[in-house]
């Protein structure tokens, strides 16, 4: 496969990236646009969504994905769906605010389900589709104080596998991508929250909590996750489905 063919692998395709205004989602929007896709940047942050959309020659969809009822009857024509939008809430279980738990689950599990439900009919009709779910290493292993995040991401792993099983015969693949700590605004906020919960300075959270188990000893960069997502939508990944791909600098190898 020549570089040129790879770079045009999504020519004529439409891609939808949720949480595309920032971090990993913005990097994915850029990667998929570079591969030729017309990218819809979906985010509740209107300014950010418009800025990224303009940057990639795509369009913005300003949407609050926590309002899941509004997604119930949705039908969307897209060839690539990247379920990426996410938030984090950190608290010991006994103090976890129930509405915070529900919010995390609505954005990171219910919305991905409703979007998969919305895109599959069109993908089945065209006989081609790629669903990439941005999960986390915490979709595969747990971490204290992150009950909502860990359980939503574990649920996303299951949803991705069921999508793969049902979609396979229609030309639809579904995968999870499982980053370790990535240098994004979400992680910066998380560092501050963990510092509060553990009662240690933020610099120590990075060294003792986030990088302690990393073999490579640095944060993952958003473009590195996006490159993997791009490859997973490409022609060489047609047989990659129902799988989970860690990109964590060796964090989960221990």
Active site positions, annotated = 149
Beta bridge partners of 130: 80, 173
Contact flag: residue 151 with ligand NAD (CB under 6 A): no
186 close to 23: Cβ distance less than 8 angstroms = yes
Positions 41 through 60 that interact with ligand NAD (CB under 6 A):
43-45, 48
Distance from CA of residue 82 to its chain's centroid? Answer: 6
Pick one of 15, 16, 17, 21: the residue that binds ligand NAD (CB under 6 A).
Answer: 21
**Range 81-140, binding ligand NAD (CB under 6 A):** 84-87, 107, 134, 136
For the CB of residue 136, give the shortest distance to ligand NAD in the complex, in Å: 4
Using an 8 Å Cβ cutoff, are 53 and 120 in contact?
no
**Among the listed residues 204, 107, 68, 199, the one whose alpha carbon sits nearest the alpha carbon of residue 145:** 199
Q: Check residue 166 for interaction with ligand NAD (CB under 6 A).
A: no
Which residue in the set 129, 167, 179, 234 belongs to the binding site for ligand NAD (CB under 6 A)? Answer: 179
Paired tokens of 128: 């081609």
Cα distances (Å, whole numbers) of residue 179 to 93, 227, 233, 252: 24, 12, 17, 10
Q: Which region among 2-10, 22-30, 123-131, 229-237 touches ligand NAD (by CB under 6 A)?
A: 22-30
* Cβ-based nearer residue to ligand NAD, 10 or 52: 52
185 binds ligand NAD (CB under 6 A): yes
Pick the binder of ligand NAD from 32, 33, 65, 159 (CB under 6 A): 65
Q: Residue 62 interacts with ligand NAD (CB under 6 A)?
A: no
Cβ count within 10 A of residue 16: 27
Q: Please report whether residue 22 would count as binding ligand NAD according to CB under 6 A.
A: yes
Residues in 194-253 that interact with ligand NAD by CB under 6 A: none
What is the size of the binding site for ligand NAD (CB under 6 A)? 28
Nearer to ligand NAD, 134 or 228 (CB): 134
Task: Give the number of C-alpha atoms closer than 13 A to the C-alpha of residue 26, restricted to the C-beta side.
Answer: 18
19, 129, 230, 234: which one binds ligand NAD (CB under 6 A):
19
> Least distance in Å: CB of 19 to ligand NAD?
3
Give the binding site for ligand NAD (CB under 6 A): 19, 21-25, 43-45, 48, 63-66, 84-87, 107, 134, 136, 179, 181-182, 184-187
């Amino acid at each position: 496969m020549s570089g040129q063919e790879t770079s045009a692998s999504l020519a004529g395709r439409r891609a939808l990236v949720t949480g595309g205004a920032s971090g990993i989602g913005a990097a994915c929007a850029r990667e998929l646009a570079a591969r030729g896709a017309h990218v819809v940047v979906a985010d509740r942050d209107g300014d950010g969504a418009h800025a990224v959309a303009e940057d990639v020659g795509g369009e913005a969809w300003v949407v609050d994905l926590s309002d899941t009822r509004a997604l119930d009857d949705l039908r969307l024509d897209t060839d690539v769906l990247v379920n990426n939008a996410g938030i984090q809430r950190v608290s010991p279980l006994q103090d976890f605010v129930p509405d915070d738990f529900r919010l995390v689950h609505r954005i990171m599990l219910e919305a991905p389900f409703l979007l998969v439900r919305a895109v599959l009919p069109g993908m089945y009709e065209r006989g081609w589709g790629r669903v990439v779910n941005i999960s986390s290493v915490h979709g595969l292993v747990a971490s204290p104080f992150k009950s909502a995040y860990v359980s939503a991401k574990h649920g996303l792993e299951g949803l991705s596998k069921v999508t793969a099983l049902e979609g396979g015969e229609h030309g639809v693949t579904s995968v999870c991508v499982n980053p370790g700590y990535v240098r994004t605004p979400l992680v910066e906020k998380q560092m501050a929250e963990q510092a509060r919960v553990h009662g240690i300075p933020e610099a120590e959270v990075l060294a003792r909590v986030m990088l302690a188990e990393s073999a490579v000893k640095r944060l993952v960069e958003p473009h590195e996750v996006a490159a993997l997502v791009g490859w997973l939508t490409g022609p060489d990944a047609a047989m990659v489905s129902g799988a989970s791909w860690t990109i964590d600098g060796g964090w989960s190898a221990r």
